[in-house]
Structure 1
Amino acid sequence: MGQKVHPTGFRLGIAEEWRSRWYASKKDFGKLLVEDQKIRQFIKKKYQFAGIPKIEIERTRDQVVLLLHTSRPGILIGRKGQEVDKLKAELEDLTGRRMELKIKEINAPMRNAKLVADDIAQQLLKRGSFRRAMKRSLDQVMEAGVYGVKIQISGRLGGAEMSRTEKATRGSVPLSTLRRRIDYGLTEALTPQGIIGIKVWIDLGDITEEDNTDGTNAKTGQASKKPKKTHKR
């Protein structure tokens, strides 16, 4: 009997931060929670090719602050910031609240599970082989300097009549160790044969290591590398 726990929710408050950070009364909480979901769905649908794996929302009394993590900030910003102003106006019309947008670039996209899953989905939509896509992604993620990666693809793989699940792993991905920062991403590829689900787990190391959530070193801003093992003779 398999009992699965969501890797992000399991580590909230320990190795992961809350995606929505605000306080509301019992009467307003549900309404604001639905509003957060509408904002996320609107941005992801409008900018699905901008590489936005995470949207953080903070609220004050009179405005909403959005922090958009993206691997392609140029698409979001636009020429002379026109795209940002347009998105801000559309979100204000959607919610009726004053918006403030902040954009944070992801320097190491292959260390982000959601972006890796999106990349595999794009390859499957182009009728690429799922085995080749998995192997290529595994190699690229391990080259980015992580401790381990696991990829799971489910659906009518290769146009087969019956759906099945394929898994591939490199390195170690300890899902039950709370001090490990396990990045998790889920994407669905809408192929002509049906929906194919792609799940990715990436082990970014212990929470004691001075890394940001986007996989970059907090001091230098560069992509962190896995320390080399030394062998004693």
Structure 2
Amino acid sequence: MGKKINPILFRLKKNTVYHSLWYTFKKNFCYYLKCDILIREIIRRNFLFINLSYIDIIISNKLTINLYINNVDQFNIIENYLDVFVFQISKILKKNVILNFVFNHVLNAKNIAYNVVNQILNKNSIKKIIKEELLKNRKNFGCKIQISGRLEGVDIARKEWSLIGRIPLHTIKYNLEYYQCETLTQYGILGIKIWLFKKNNEK
């Protein structure tokens, strides 16, 4: 087996950007890192039913959080819970919190994974799910979807994957997105991996 590297980590500062923007001295680094991870977990837990593309955390004199949303209607769902959420976050770093919502209409790998998870929970056929999502994203240069686990309740775990176009993993200059997640089903946990090869000017 070859050793794999995360395609996003492989392209940092070339085609991808950091989503944690803060700097501190060595003695405080561990504390800030734990806070960063904890804030992201709280966001995912509170906004579980919302498709967030990216989460930017900027720590300076204030704590700035940018949440990238694909659909404007999703903001109306969480509007009533924002005060409680901001209060919960402010207790972690004891800083003033600025919460920004950015409406990002460009499709990314996380959006595809979100759609795949919803269809799996609706108990659709795995092959049909992969085929439909690939056809939706045929305008991109390439897309690969892989689902692994006890697919459709079989006794032995297996992988089901399909590819449209091409996925150049070793060419750093190309804009390649990657996302992996898990979903709990009646028969156990299924792992989902998405690779998306987009045009260089798309973010």
Please give the range of the TM-score, normalised by the shorter of the 2 chains. over 0.9
CA deviation string 1:64-88 (max 9, x = no partner)? 1111111234434558x54433322
Pair 1:73–1:32, CA change in 2 (3 A): farther
- Give the TM-score, by structure 1 length: 0.82
Q: Does 1:132 align with 2:128?
A: yes
Of stretches 36-45 and 85-94 in structure 1, the one that deviates more from structure 2 is 85-94
Alignment root-mean-square deviation, CA: 1.6
Matched letter for residue 71 of structure 2: R
Instruction: Quickly say closer, same or farther: Cα 1:93–1:74, change in 2 above 3 A.
Output: farther
Deviations 1:50-73 (A, max 9, x none): 10131111111x211111111234
Aligned equivalent of 1:107, options 101, 105, 108: 105
1:43 positional shift: 0.7
1:42-61 superposed matches below 5 A: 42-60=42-60
Contact 2:72–2:103 (Cα < 8 Å) also in 1: yes
Distance 1:72 1:86, change over 3 A: farther
Picking from 164, 175, 183, the partner of 1:170 is 164
Q: Secondary structure at the match of 2:52?
A: coil
1:195 shift after superposition: 0.3
Distance in 2 (CA, whole Å) between partners of 1:94 and 1:21 is 17
**TM-score, reference length from structure 2:** 0.94
CA distance in 2, matches of 1:94, 1:50: 23
CA, structure 1 residues 117+78, in 2 after alignment: closer, same or farther (shift >3 Å)? closer
Q: Secondary structure at the match of 1:34?
A: helix
1:73–1:103 Cα contact (<8 Å) kept = no
State the Cα distance separating 1:170 from its structure 2 match.
Answer: 0.2
Q: By how many angstroms is 1:169 displaced?
A: 0.2
- 2:41 paired with 1:41: yes
Which of 89, 92, 96 is equivalent to 1:91? 89
Equivalent position of 2:69 in the other structure:
70
Structure 1: runs of 5+ lacking an equivalent:
214-233
Distance in 1 (CA, whole Å) between partners of 2:64 and 2:185 is 35
Extract unaligned runs of 5+ from structure 2: none
2:49 maps to a residue whose letter is F
Q: Deviations over 1:129-156 (max 9, x none)?
A: 11111111111112xx311100111100
Higher mean C-alpha displacement, 122-131 vs 65-74: 65-74
For 1:100 and 1:38, locate their aligned partners in 2 and report how far apart those are by CA, in whole Å: 17
* Alpha-carbon contact 2:35-2:92 (below 8 Å) kept: no
Equivalents in 1 of 2:29, 2:76: separation in Å?
A: 31
Q: Is 1:117 equivalent to 2:110 in the alignment? A: no
Q: Secondary structure at the match of 2:159?
A: strand
Which residue in the other structure is 1:186 paired with?
A: 180
Count of residue pairs the alignment pairs up? 203
Task: Check conservation: 1:50, 1:73, Cα contact below 8 A.
Answer: no
